[in-house]
Chain A
Amino acid sequence: MAEVTKLIHKYLRHHKKFPHVWCPGCGNGILLGALIRAIDRTRLEKDEIVIVSGIGCSGRLSVYVDFNTLHTTHGRALTFATGVKLANPKLHVIVIMGDGDATAIGGNHFIHAARRNLNLTAIVINNSIYGMTGGQYSPTTPYGSLATTSLYGNIEQAFSIAELAAMAGASMVSRGTVYHTKLLDDLIEKAIQKRGFSVVEVISHCHTQYGRRNKMGNAADMLLWQKNSAVRMEKARTLSHEEMKDKFSIGVLVDRDLPVYTEEYGKVKEMAKKAMTQMR
């Protein structure tokens, strides 16, 4: 059996749940592939992994994978994940969100999860648009872009998700694309293995809702756009602001060791138990 077939048989609920809901050419399928390849490399057992997702096209990913899966409410995936992780810290919790999911309706939860530094992995697939509802502008839609709710061009500035997560205090932050699949596999694997809150921003495309309206072509054209706009982190650091205009960096942005919530809470438990014994 080919390697990929083995992975499909091992990790997908293929006999029940396919075909998937995504449009042909969608980046979500590429992310799904990268996710199961990365998980396979970590050699974690399927029973130890919990996939938590929010609402939107990305939210449907949890249906297709054979782990403990939790498809939550819009923007709240990280809050449910926080409860799962704290109730059973042995579980590896991976949270899949979209750009609107993580940074609009779930923006508050996103920055606080990063600040709190729980040992979670957050993967934010960023296609610059609300795709499932038909193409409304999101917090990552570039200034001037067309959407069904910005017919005259978007007048808001876009968030840069990876930088936002880094400023909010995440232990590890990286950015990849669905074009650079080998890099994406590596980034997700590193993120899962990192102690502390790790974020992978995955630049993707919605050719159906975003590309079509903004004359960016079909799925293949938008993959080429990712190829041509991405600059490796090491090189990006040497370029000026002007040279990085309309481009974005890929690779590991931040990798640092910070106190991890569950370990800190272990100390709280010890102190509380001691205090309670002394009271008796």
Chain B
Amino acid sequence: MNALKSGGCQLLLQGNEAIVEGAIAAGCRFFAGYPITPATEISEVMSYRLPAVDGTFIQMEDEIASMGAIVGASLAGAKSMTATSGPGFSLMQENLGFACIAEVPCVIVNVMRGGPSTGIPTQVSQGDVMQTRWGTHGDHPIIVLSVSTTQDCFSITVKAFNLAEKYRTPVIILADEVVAHTREKIFLPHPGEVEVIDRIRPNMPPDWYIPYEDTSRGVPPMAAFGEGYRYHVTGLVHDSRGFPTQRPDEVKGLMSRLFRKINQHFFDIQMVEEEATEDAEVLTVAYGSVARSARRATREARARGIKAGMIQLVTLWPFPRQVVEPMLRKVRAVLVPELNVGQVSREVKRVNQGVTRVETLNRIDGNLITPEEILSRLLKI
């Protein structure tokens, strides 16, 4: 309601449509994509929303090209995004790695459907959690955010752009078929009320600009092509001037900085939402559309006298262990419901290191885990 008072508006939107509104509010002015279920609506809405705000939409020949185009557009100064689902996301891995090593801010939306391969295009899944972390080859840091409501689709998309710009890194938004196609009421804040962060641009004379300089933040300022800073961008391991190198100290310097710039800002990147965790004895760790079922199950368990609590993971990668780990030490048991055979639960177990009992609840039949399924497990745990 505060959003309305400050000049915002209230709309009935689908998750995919809310992602577009979030992107435009965050300053996205370039989108390249390829049709794919269940992410197509993002392309469709972008195709008429972007030109109206002086942005550019293009439908490319495939997802490899879409990912290449958004990296190119970002280097020319535009905040850029693409959206896809599993098969397309697999094709994007090559140029996603380029964005990591060349430190090009951009946002990639993966609306998860059942897999592998063509899988079940119209049904929900959370099978791509590990792919978002390690899909592109080589050691690399990445930021992955998950959304569970239409409101999230707006606000987390804004955050995704802000993190991408702040840390010069690709950020992946992990949505799923249910959240993407659920139509519900959402408050869109007035554009002036949205916190938007832009990349830091160089302010020194071009001769002094060192495009990949190691700064204390670990994030060098970024010039756009055509601004007078003529520099080299490559997917090869490079020195601080951007030129290819094989010198061990320079190779190590770049690789370490790529990780450091994410790790040293862990607390800024790590986002979770907690529900009744203060005195919880059993804890549910959930994300995406499953988090909605988990929230209801937690409330119903409380109504039946069980001290249940939940953590909803908004940041999936880097895994928010600083929040999850202390919580694991306080509870009797943990339940991790997810729409795969156990991806985030592996991470919870890794962080847990045998301290408490970690149970999993997995569903891989193309349907959402219901609140009842989670509740019945909480009652038995």
Interface check A126, CB cutoff 8 A? no
Docked-complex contact A269 and B51, CB < 8 angstroms: yes
Residue of B58, B72, B80, B231 ringed by the most chain A CB atoms within 10 A: B72
**Which B residue's beta carbon lies closest to that of A88?**
B76
Interface check A229, CB cutoff 8 A? no
Whether A84 touches B75, Cβ cut-off 8 Å, given contacts A17-B243, A109-B65, is yes
Docked-complex contact B56 and A84, CB < 8 angstroms: no
Interface check B350, CB cutoff 8 A? no
- Please measure, in the bound complex, the distance between the C-alpha atom of A90 and the C-alpha atom of B76, giving whole angstroms: 11
Docked-complex contact B230 and A67, CB < 8 angstroms: yes
Interface check A16, CB cutoff 8 A? yes
Number of A residues near B (Cβ < 8 Å) is 41
Taking CB atoms, residues of chain B closer than 8 Å to A85 are: 72, 76
Docked-complex contact B51 and A82, CB < 8 angstroms: no
- Please measure, in the bound complex, the distance between the C-alpha atom of A80 and the C-alpha atom of B228, giving whole angstroms: 20
- Please measure, in the bound complex, the distance between the C-alpha atom of A63 and the C-alpha atom of B244, giving whole angstroms: 8
Taking CB atoms, residues of chain B closer than 8 Å to A195 are: none
Docked-complex contact B71 and A112, CB < 8 angstroms: no
**Which A residue's beta carbon lies closest to that of B56?**
A86
Docked-complex contact A79 and B52, CB < 8 angstroms: no
Docked-complex contact B72 and A80, CB < 8 angstroms: yes
Question: Smallest CB–CB gap between A3 and chain B, Å?
Answer: 23
- Please measure, in the bound complex, the distance between the C-alpha atom of A86 and the C-alpha atom of B71, giving whole angstroms: 12
Question: Smallest CB–CB gap between B84 and chain A, Å?
Answer: 15
Docked-complex contact A80 and B71, CB < 8 angstroms: yes
Interface check B126, CB cutoff 8 A? no
Interface check A150, CB cutoff 8 A? no
Question: Smallest CB–CB gap between A164 and chain B, Å?
Answer: 15
Interface check B285, CB cutoff 8 A? no
Whether A82 touches B62, Cβ cut-off 8 Å, given contacts A48-B226, A67-B230, A87-B78, is no
Whether A83 touches B48, Cβ cut-off 8 Å, given contacts A69-B231, A70-B233, A71-B235, is no
- Please measure, in the bound complex, the distance between the C-alpha atom of A67 and the C-alpha atom of B80, giving whole angstroms: 23
Interface check B185, CB cutoff 8 A? no
Please pick, from A71, A90, A271, the residue contacting B234 in the complex, using a CB distance under 8 A.
A71
Taking CB atoms, residues of chain A closer than 8 Å to B62 are: 108
Please pick, from A76, A91, A112, A273, the residue contacting B94 in the complex, using a CB distance under 8 A.
A76
Docked-complex contact B64 and A69, CB < 8 angstroms: no
Whether A86 touches B58, Cβ cut-off 8 Å, given contacts A71-B233, A79-B64, is yes
Question: Smallest CB–CB gap between A216 and chain B, Å?
Answer: 31
Taking CB atoms, residues of chain A closer than 8 Å to B243 are: 16-17, 63
Q: For chain B, what secondary structure do more than half of its interface residues adopt (helix, strand, loop), or is it mixed? A: mixed
Docked-complex contact A68 and B94, CB < 8 angstroms: no
Whether A84 touches B72, Cβ cut-off 8 Å, given contacts A16-B243, A48-B226, A112-B65, is yes
Interface check A151, CB cutoff 8 A? no
Interface check B54, CB cutoff 8 A? yes
- Please measure, in the bound complex, the distance between the C-alpha atom of A267 and the C-alpha atom of B241, giving whole angstroms: 40
**Which B residue's beta carbon lies closest to that of A86?**
B56
Interface check B61, CB cutoff 8 A? yes
Taking CB atoms, residues of chain B closer than 8 Å to A250 are: none
Taking CB atoms, residues of chain A closer than 8 Å to B231 are: 68-69
Interface check A268, CB cutoff 8 A? yes
Taking CB atoms, residues of chain B closer than 8 Å to A73 are: 68, 94-95, 98, 235
Please pick, from B54, B65, B74, B232, the residue contacting A82 in the complex, using a CB distance under 8 A.
B65
Please pick, from B52, B66, B225, the residue contacting A84 in the complex, using a CB distance under 8 A.
B225
Taking CB atoms, residues of chain B closer than 8 Å to A273 are: 51-52, 54
Question: Smallest CB–CB gap between A133 and chain B, Å?
Answer: 15
Docked-complex contact B68 and A82, CB < 8 angstroms: yes
- Please measure, in the bound complex, the distance between the C-alpha atom of A72 and the C-alpha atom of B72, giving whole angstroms: 9
Docked-complex contact B58 and A47, CB < 8 angstroms: no
Docked-complex contact A86 and B30, CB < 8 angstroms: yes
Whether A269 touches B230, Cβ cut-off 8 Å, given contacts A63-B243, A82-B68, is no
Please pick, from A68, A71, A79, A275, the residue contacting B225 in the complex, using a CB distance under 8 A.
A68
Question: Smallest CB–CB gap between B318 and chain A, Å?
Answer: 25
- Please measure, in the bound complex, the distance between the C-alpha atom of A79 and the C-alpha atom of B228, giving whole angstroms: 23
Question: Smallest CB–CB gap between B60 and chain A, Å?
Answer: 7
**Which B residue's beta carbon lies closest to that of A55?**
B235
**Which B residue's beta carbon lies closest to that of A274?**
B52
Interface check B32, CB cutoff 8 A? yes
Taking CB atoms, residues of chain A closer than 8 Å to B54 are: 269, 273
Please pick, from A48, A86, A109, the residue contacting B73 in the complex, using a CB distance under 8 A.
A86
Docked-complex contact B61 and A83, CB < 8 angstroms: no
- Please measure, in the bound complex, the distance between the C-alpha atom of A202 and the C-alpha atom of B53, giving whole angstroms: 41
**Which B residue's beta carbon lies closest to that of A79?**
B68
Please pick, from A63, A88, A108, the residue contacting B77 in the complex, using a CB distance under 8 A.
A88
Interface check B186, CB cutoff 8 A? no
Over the window 26-57 of chain B, the binary record of Cβ atoms lying under 8 Å from chain A Cβ atoms (1 yes, 0 no) is 00011010000000000000001011101010
Taking CB atoms, residues of chain B closer than 8 Å to A47 are: 226-228, 230
Taking CB atoms, residues of chain B closer than 8 Å to A91 are: 76, 225-226
Q: Write the residues of chain A forming the contact surface with B, with a CB cutoff of 8 angstroms.
A: 16-17, 46-48, 50, 52, 62-63, 66-73, 76, 79-88, 90-91, 108-109, 112, 265, 268-269, 271-273, 275-276
24 A–B contacts from the bound complex (CB under 8 Å): A50-B225, A63-B232, A63-B243, A66-B230, A69-B233, A71-B232, A73-B94, A73-B98, A79-B67, A82-B32, A82-B58, A82-B65, A82-B68, A82-B72, A84-B73, A84-B75, A84-B225, A87-B56, A88-B78, A109-B61, A109-B65, A112-B65, A265-B51, A273-B51
13 additional contacts, CB 8 Å, given A82-B60, A83-B73, A91-B225? A47-B227, A50-B226, A70-B225, A71-B236, A72-B68, A72-B98, A79-B72, A82-B69, A87-B73, A88-B226, A90-B226, A91-B226, A273-B51
A-B pairs with lowest CB-CB distance, top 3:
A83-B72, A79-B68, A83-B73
